Structure 1
């Protein structure tokens, strides 16, 4: 690979870093520029087939429909709660558990978010958790950052184990045959058994890395967004934070050991909430004085929490929470009840042979979480007896907030597709991600335990999906492990952990989180806060692997 080709393959990353992070342009401007730069580099340097490039753009636009519906649904639900007055009841309920914002963040983002991640995936936890925090008075930017960081450890088992069970299985297949046939045979001839073995490595490492995430989250909350900018104020609840970490990771470890990777996040989160919420209510392991001291909190959260807020009634906690309860129930049922799942997936819209290529795209109209959001909003109209004016406000405000997100995702997803489909070229090159990964493997094999999770981050950062990151790079991780004598399962586990860490900073998730809290245009600020945590997560995991694997 020549220097120019290396630059071309790095164009998506360089462009996003320069325009979004360094120049601090809003994603609605940075992502279209980055897409154009990537397209030009693909054509003139990588010599990508122009028809494949055009088809990739179409594929990306169609693929963006799923995250866009999820984001719209999350915003719609937030505004339904806002204009019905149910938000006041929800806020009061969490305050009754604890008035401490640090505790609220752990319960909502780490535990409840892990339950949603295990049920649905699709970046849904941040889309639900961040607005809930805003309702409780957490500044919108802070809410987006901590929700993204918290949505990490549980991603391995997200969407009923999809990243491991599907992502890694597909990533290991070459020419119709799995590279891991020998390993699969050694585990009973069933990939699900081998996936469980890989997942045991993931969750074992996360007994350390994952269990620290609640403490990291509260330190970020107080250190970056507190009035005193004090990390010490986060460390004050270290006992409670570690309890919350282990209350999820230990049950998740046991569930994976006993039953496999489908339900560790779902059941681990439920057990965690059952343990942590009573402790919070009793005030055990917590300082006497609650912490809720944000910098410029009132100004930052005004647009979302107080503007035009009609208070029509006070609802019971069950009534106010019923949209989320119904949402969670629908997500779980749609993933585990086969007849229901089959019926929902029967309504998929598929496009094949895009512009005469082998590319295809699909939109899970009923199976994607977006439709569930909209359904529970309609239920909310009825349950909360919303007046026509309030209903109209919730709809118009939600629609009006979507334009920057449509532009951002409408550019970022096609950019990723160009990057991934660049293997169709006249220069005889592999696709850009494969070429980059090969370069890393050839030059950094001796320190692969640290590089491996970075590759996983790289895949998730660009694709917006831990599952897709695993699909892209599991084969590479397996091959490198072969070459350097590393445990295959450990290399794949590091790939999975890196993909989880990348979930904190991937453009699609950041755009979604910023949008649902009314902060579209400030994505660069979010990434600058989550990126160090993501890289630190990977570094700690790699160090554990070095000690574990004897490198």
Structure 2
């Protein structure tokens, strides 16, 4: 039976209705950030509250409320949870076999300074992983690597989440942009160009912010050349590729150029002082070993003072080199086509094509699909699992220890996986019940100020869904229709949706759960949320001001109409 969404169920008032729609979000923020609940407890109680809200206020049928939540939960486990499990598995294997200690030594050979190590791994390597894979892989892999180097779990996860803002809009070889272009029938190159004239300003600034978070303004002055090199090289390539090549390659090429530029700089320049965290107390290597031991069990690591040959260093890095190659292969059109032959698509019962979204969220009444895709071979997580199998042989791990490590990894991630499932379930509930549409319509009522608030829509969408792609699919049409009604460049507001969404990624419950699970912060998700929240709001304000200026002060910056 088809059910039609209603966006103003409370007395016909969009503002009052939006107030009720936002209640579960406010509760979740309070439960996680102020009350300090464990992630899975906060997520579970939020889902229960949201289901009651959807049924009582938005008149969402009980069966469909349960079905949409379950739909989100299974999506959270596959493919998202699968990526988290396999990413942490690869890291755990390298720790247990002692290979990660060699990686740590090789990075220390470039620099012992934690600030520059962060730029190399969280900013550069994380951006590459976002461009090649996305869906949580950058935070999971880069965060675990930083913990292994000696970073505290909170800083490892928090810095990776903040660093991941620069590449998100073009993640997974441009999927967020191409998805929005498909749903709005827009030109993907024009969308890419708009985003490419907003985010490079953020990308240039981001390395400076990351260093300031770690070591303050004084610390930034000491590594200013490194921050400038990483940010400027990334921003320039991101601008050029997004404007002249399209949305597929900005992340991959920007990350490679930024990483190589930083490595070349380190051949000729070193900071005057070496920055360490206070908790290391001059014993960085010992702290790193303790961190890895505490998080992942007994690690058969080599002595931290050992000298390693070039061959040993290459073998230690080989799992991540293989990971990069495998992820690239997985994205090749011919390979994707072949792997898709093993994909099974299921019509989710009680939900698929049984809900109508209507104007002004959609230009005309549109049935909402609910298709669950089980892409057992095409999934990014499967590519990472293949890397884990290859890593077993590279590191010489026995088959017995390999399966034991799989079991330990699953046990380590049981609560994070539950959290991920619940928060994605909540996101789908808000989508199908019309609650997210109500919040969007309230913002669309801001008229002349809408360009300022357009990024906030994307920010909310990513907070709810954990995905810039999902946010673009959720609000792309609304951004387009509202811009047309206000006689504003539609490409500006659609691009702002994606640009605003990237800074919501760091506080998305899904991202928080991934970051916590990869770095050993399970049960302390509230600390991670408080760490990232203020920076998310700061960067959102920057994007909002840029969009407003592009709408009314420098409209010539934006292509299209």
Query: TM-score, with normalisation over the residues of structure 2?
Result: 0.87
Q: CA deviation at 1:4?
A: 6.3
Asked if 1:302 corresponds to 2:290, the answer is yes
Q: Point out the more displaced range, 238-247 or 103-112.
A: 238-247
Q: Which residue of 2 aligns with 1:151?
A: 164
Q: Which residue of 2 aligns with 1:426?
A: none
Q: CA deviation at 1:416?
A: 1.3
- Work out which of the residue numbers 22, 27, 52 in structure 2 matches 1:40: 52
Rounded to whole Å, the distance in 2 between the matches of 1:138 and 1:356 is 44
Q: CA deviation at 1:105?
A: 0.7
Asked if 1:534 corresponds to 2:536, the answer is yes
Q: Which residue of 2 aligns with 1:338?
A: 333
* Kept in 1: contact 2:72–2:427 (CA 8 A): yes
When residues 9 and 290 of structure 1 are mapped into structure 2, their CA distance, relative to the original with a 3 A threshold, is same
Asked if 1:215 corresponds to 2:217, the answer is no
Q: Which runs of 5+ in 2 are unaligned?
A: 1-7, 354-369, 554-561
Q: CA deviation at 1:280?
A: 2.1
Asked if 1:521 corresponds to 2:523, the answer is yes
Q: Which residue of 2 aligns with 1:461?
A: 463
Q: CA deviation at 1:387?
A: 3.9
Q: CA deviation at 1:399?
A: 1.6
Deviations 1:504-550 (A, max 9, x none): 11111110111011111111111112122122112112222333332
- Three-state SS of the structure 2 residue aligned to 1:295 is helix
When residues 235 and 305 of structure 1 are mapped into structure 2, their CA distance, relative to the original with a 3 A threshold, is farther
Q: Which residue of 2 aligns with 1:226?
A: none
Rounded to whole Å, the distance in 1 between the matches of 2:251 and 2:518 is 24
When residues 293 and 62 of structure 1 are mapped into structure 2, their CA distance, relative to the original with a 3 A threshold, is closer
- Three-state SS of the structure 2 residue aligned to 1:41 is helix
- Three-state SS of the structure 1 residue aligned to 2:345 is strand
Rounded to whole Å, the distance in 2 between the matches of 1:357 and 1:448 is 33
Deviations 1:266-303 (A, max 9, x none): 111111222111112332xx521111233368779834
Rounded to whole Å, the distance in 2 between the matches of 1:292 and 1:390 is 34
Q: Which runs of 5+ in 1 are unaligned?
A: 173-177, 179-190, 223-229, 423-430
* Kept in 1: contact 2:150–2:288 (CA 8 A): no
When residues 543 and 355 of structure 1 are mapped into structure 2, their CA distance, relative to the original with a 3 A threshold, is closer
* Kept in 2: contact 1:107–1:273 (CA 8 A): yes
Deviations 1:198-224 (A, max 9, x none): 2222222223222111111122223xx
Q: Which residue of 1 aligns with 2:406?
A: 395
Deviations 1:124-150 (A, max 9, x none): 111111011111111111000010111
Count of aligned residue pairs for this structure pair: 512
- Work out which of the residue numbers 216, 220, 223 in structure 2 matches 1:237: 223
Q: Which residue of 2 aligns with 1:327?
A: 323
Rounded to whole Å, the distance in 2 between the matches of 1:83 and 1:301 is 11
Rounded to whole Å, the distance in 2 between the matches of 1:356 and 1:236 is 56
Rounded to whole Å, the distance in 2 between the matches of 1:5 and 1:326 is 50
Asked if 1:293 corresponds to 2:281, the answer is no
Query: TM-score, with normalisation over the residues of structure 1?
Result: 0.88
When residues 198 and 357 of structure 1 are mapped into structure 2, their CA distance, relative to the original with a 3 A threshold, is closer
Q: Which residue of 2 aligns with 1:139?
A: 152
- Three-state SS of the structure 1 residue aligned to 2:272 is coil
Asked if 1:127 corresponds to 2:140, the answer is yes
Q: Which residue of 2 aligns with 1:91?
A: 104
Q: Which residue of 1 aligns with 2:199?
A: 206
When residues 261 and 410 of structure 1 are mapped into structure 2, their CA distance, relative to the original with a 3 A threshold, is closer
* Kept in 1: contact 2:147–2:291 (CA 8 A): no
Asked if 1:63 corresponds to 2:58, the answer is no
Q: Which residue of 1 aligns with 2:442?
A: 439
* Kept in 1: contact 2:71–2:348 (CA 8 A): no
Q: Which residue of 1 aligns with 2:86?
A: 73
* Kept in 2: contact 1:83–1:391 (CA 8 A): no
- Work out which of the residue numbers 32, 51, 65 in structure 2 matches 1:53: 65
